[in-house]
Amino acid sequence: MRQTPLVRLIAGVCMSVAAANIPVRTQNLLDIYRLARENDPTWAAAQASYRANIEKGPQGRALLLPAVIFTANAIQNSLNEAQPGPFNGSYVNHGYTLQLTQPLYQKSSFAAYAEGKLAVTQAQAQLAIARQDLIVRTAQAYFNVLAAQDTLRFAKSKEKAIDGQLPLAKRNFEVGNSTIVDVNAAQAQYDSAIAAAVVADNDLRVKEEVLYTLIGKPVGTLSAVTKTLPLQMPVPANMDTWTRAAEDQSPRIKVQQQAVAITREEVQKSRGGHYPSLDLVASHNYSNGISPGFPGTIVYHSNQIGVELQWPIFSGGVVSSEVRQSLARVDQARETLTQTERQTVLSTRQYYLAVTSGVAQVKALEQALAASKNALESTQLGYRTGVNTGLDVLNAQQNLFSVESALSQAKYSYLMSRLELKDAVGTLSENDLVSINNLLAGQ
């Protein structure tokens, strides 16, 4: 039955209402991480880079294996003798050659083979870095959205609180119970709160866009951190232990260690330009054609086997230059390794201290929050009894919102520091993300 426009309109409205009544599933940190793992282009590029880099192993090994080459030819010949003869005219010769070459000694090839194996190990460490980086970037983007949501909520709460205080300050001023200072202060804080809410709303949109670029999907409702956040000091509670673990396990250090080893093999590969090479060569040749002076078609078969020695004597100084270049790159790689080791140690210490100080900061701010709430209640009571002014109430409210905002940021910083400490050491995994996810509301 054909639907009229009215029927289609009613059906569309009903579907919209039904969709609106479907509860939206809250996404937690693990949900976002799995989406990022499927859709993040940076992670996808790192995986592609890994697949490309591990091919250096087979490529280096191939230089030590036999190479077989098949060549074929068909040659058109034209012969014109000064005197007419039986060989005047055109004829075709054709044939083929099958040649096998097995390297017996090539210094540069041996170095390339070793370099290929090192490159595979380096690629594995680089992929580990990218995997940990994905976890950190996902958690950071997730908590940035939560922090922006908190900031917007605090800004709107502040705006609402001041909006209720402003008319009261104006009425008290009109009846002579307060001064114009209270009115101006309330108006100024109200205008400031409106501006802060606008800024917070824009910042939230930006943070959601950042998360969108990571997961490739619009951001839904995110699970928040529980109000009572369990706090845990690093285990073991010894900075030097974490530092030594980072020196032993950090994939960033491993990447640079492999880089030093690779540049050393590059030196040997460059020096190989001065060394002789020895190959085993075997070939089979076949030709079929006409030869002037001989009647009929000649079929020719030959087999050869032997060794071939090549020794470059002089190449214009290019080999010596390449050796000097490779040695300089070894020095560069060593210095980069030293820098990476120092930076890894520094990062490990910083994040260890960030976790320990984060625990203390969250505890202190929780106590400050309770004190700020009590102070606000006391100030409001004093305002009703005439002991405090409206400005005192506004200041108490401002202090409460500031402490709430600081506590919110401190919780997110503490959670991120836990992940970043594991990242610096090189042991960050999805299990650590599960532990953090268990601290979210509703988990």
Cis peptide before 236 (omega within 30 of 0): yes
In a domain, 99, yes or no: no
Domain harbouring 146, CATH code: 1.20.1600.10
In a domain, 66, yes or no: no
The pTM for the full model equals 0.84
In a domain, 433, yes or no: yes
Read off the pLDDT of residues 24-62 as tens digits, 9 standing for 90 and up: 568 999 999 999 999 999 999 999 999 999 999 999 999
Tell me how far apart the alpha carbons of residues 212 and 36 are, in angstroms, rounded to a whole number.
Answer: 9
In a domain, 323, yes or no: yes
Can you tell me the mean pLDDT for 243-252?
Answer: 96
In a domain, 404, yes or no: yes
Read off the pLDDT of residues 174-216 as tens digits, 9 standing for 90 and up: 656 566 666 676 677 777 778 888 999 999 999 999 999 999 9
Task: Name which of 12-16, 96-100, 290-294, 314-318 the model is least confident about.
Answer: 12-16
Nearest to 202 by CA among 142, 151, 137: 151
According to DSSP, the residues that pair with 278 across neighbouring strands are 105, 309
Nearest to 406 by CA among 367, 350, 354: 367
Q: Output the six-digit token pair for 116.
A: 């290929």
Nearest to 130 by CA among 58, 59, 53: 53
In a domain, 38, yes or no: no
Q: How far is CA 403 from CA 154, 207, 363, 384, 400, in A?
A: 10, 22, 12, 24, 5
Distance of CA 124 to the CA centre of its chain: 14
With beta carbons less than 8 A apart as the criterion, state whether 127 and 46 touch.
Answer: yes
Count of domains observed in the chain: 1
Q: Output the six-digit token pair for 370.
A: 């309770």
In a domain, 307, yes or no: no
Question: Residue 360 belongs to what domain range?
Answer: 120-273+318-437
Task: Name which of 48-57, 192-201, 228-237, 432-441 the model is least confident about.
Answer: 192-201
Name the pLDDT band for 81 (thresholds 50, 70, 90): low
In a domain, 32, yes or no: no
